[in-house]
A and B are shown apart, each in its own frame.
Chain A
Amino acid sequence: MGKILTEVQRHLLRMIFDRGAEGASLALSKWLGRAVSLTVSEVEITELEQAAELLGPADSLVAACSMELTGRLTGWILLVFEDRSGLALVDMLLHQPVGTTTAWGEIEQSAAKETTNIVGCAYVNALAAHLPATLTRGTAPIRQAESDGSDLVPTPPTFFHEFAGSLLEFALMEQAIELDQVLLIRSEFEAYRRESNLDWTLLFVPTRESLRELIAALAQLELH
């Protein structure tokens, strides 16, 4: 695929996914009942061998929920929590003091999955409204989507408790089949607490085919 994106295309792509991240941030704020701010939104293009460190030390344990995206744009959405922040999110949802939850049991995993469902759908809905027209012909909002193949449809979330590097390797493997540089879109959110900040990361990893289609659509935008 050569060099993946020009700088202009990268900038356009970041602007588009910023809209998705803003939608996700609003949804997360409403869901948690507290302000959640979007702190970083970046198109990461990295050598495959360095990708395992994108979420910090590769052997750090993270909790994550993934949703596969199908339809006109394909790939994976991942909401990733460093353990402490993830368990704190569960405490906030259950209206108990942060620090109460110490392990990922069934209830905790369910809370994480539901959070991902809400955030992921908000992300996709916001994205759909801002993706280039050539990519999302006929897109409808998620809750009214019909499965005609042109909509953006996320699958129900799956929970993982995994090494950060392994999680990224799994998510990027489809791109790695052809590419030595891989691309993902990373958005980070922060909820401020008096004692410490809590951080969550939302990743979108497109498939090779969607990456090609995005690049083609961005190239057209670049011309106009």
Chain B
Amino acid sequence: MPTPGFTDLPLSTDIVSVAIGRWAVAAAPVKIRTLLGSCVGVVLYDRVVKVGGVAHIVLPDAREAVDHPGKYADTAIPGMIVDFDQRLGGNARSRLVAKLVGGARMFQVPSAKDTKAGLNIGQRNQEAIERILAELRIPILARDLGGEAGRRMTLDTASGMITIKVPGGAEYEI
């Protein structure tokens, strides 16, 4: 049975696309790509065996929701680590490092209604993700967060580098 939240990988592909609320784990030389707006992309990478994962996280916590584990930081990150363990025979966490991308804010929540929910989801996601990674003792090597524009990010599992493109801008790496 497929792992909920996991993007099914074709047998042979150079680039895997991760949709909103999903994650994928792959080995070199596969590249993993996702398009981010206000969501945060969490990248986990094992530099020794060159296996990487990308989760496209929408919200900080699942609050007992079980149907879409890829959507929430507190279910997607552990779910991704389970996939690493399955690939690598267990205990992958000790070698993992992380990078964070996204969390932009373009639209304001309408001011007349419901000012709490949705307000600065990007920041709330970042705080939750950093807390979870700290609890798991996974160091965060780089961040490219905030701003007001979308980002297309691509993880190269061969190097662990992330290439980022914003509309109208040149590509850069973190």
A residues apposed to B, CB below 8 Å: 48-52, 58-59, 61, 66, 68-71, 74-76, 149, 160-163, 165-171, 173-174, 176-178, 180, 207-210
B106 — which chain A residues lie within 8 A by C-beta?
Answer: 160, 162, 166-167, 170
- Asked whether B121 lies within 8 Å of A173 as measured between CB atoms, the reply is yes
* Sample of 25 A–B contacts (CB below 8 Å): A48-B58, A48-B71, A52-B20, A61-B167, A70-B113, A160-B106, A161-B168, A162-B150, A163-B152, A165-B150, A166-B37, A166-B151, A169-B35, A169-B39, A173-B118, A173-B121, A174-B107, A174-B117, A176-B20, A176-B59, A177-B121, A180-B21, A207-B110, A207-B113, A210-B113
- Asked whether A167 lies within 8 Å of B37 as measured between CB atoms, the reply is yes
Secondary structure class of chain B's binding surface, majority of residues: loop
A167 — which chain B residues lie within 8 A by C-beta?
Answer: 37, 106, 150
B151 — which chain A residues lie within 8 A by C-beta?
Answer: 166
- Asked whether A68 lies within 8 Å of B71 as measured between CB atoms, the reply is no
Indicate if B109 sits at the interface (CB-CB under 8 A).
yes
Task: Provide the bound-state CA to CA distance between A170 and B39, in Å.
Answer: 8
B111 — which chain A residues lie within 8 A by C-beta?
Answer: 70
Q: Which 10 A-B pairs have the closest CB atoms?
A: A166-B150, A169-B37, A166-B37, A49-B19, A165-B35, A170-B106, A74-B110, A170-B37, A163-B150, A174-B118
Task: Provide the bound-state CA to CA distance between A69 and B108, in Å.
Answer: 11
- Asked whether B118 lies within 8 Å of A162 as measured between CB atoms, the reply is no
B residues apposed to A, CB below 8 Å: 19-22, 35-39, 58-59, 67-68, 71, 104, 106-114, 117-118, 121, 149-152, 167-168
Task: Provide the bound-state CA to CA distance between A210 and B146, in Å.
Answer: 28
- Asked whether A49 lies within 8 Å of B37 as measured between CB atoms, the reply is no
A61-B167, A70-B110 known; 6 new pairs, CB 8 Å cut-off, are: A49-B22, A163-B167, A165-B150, A170-B106, A174-B117, A176-B71
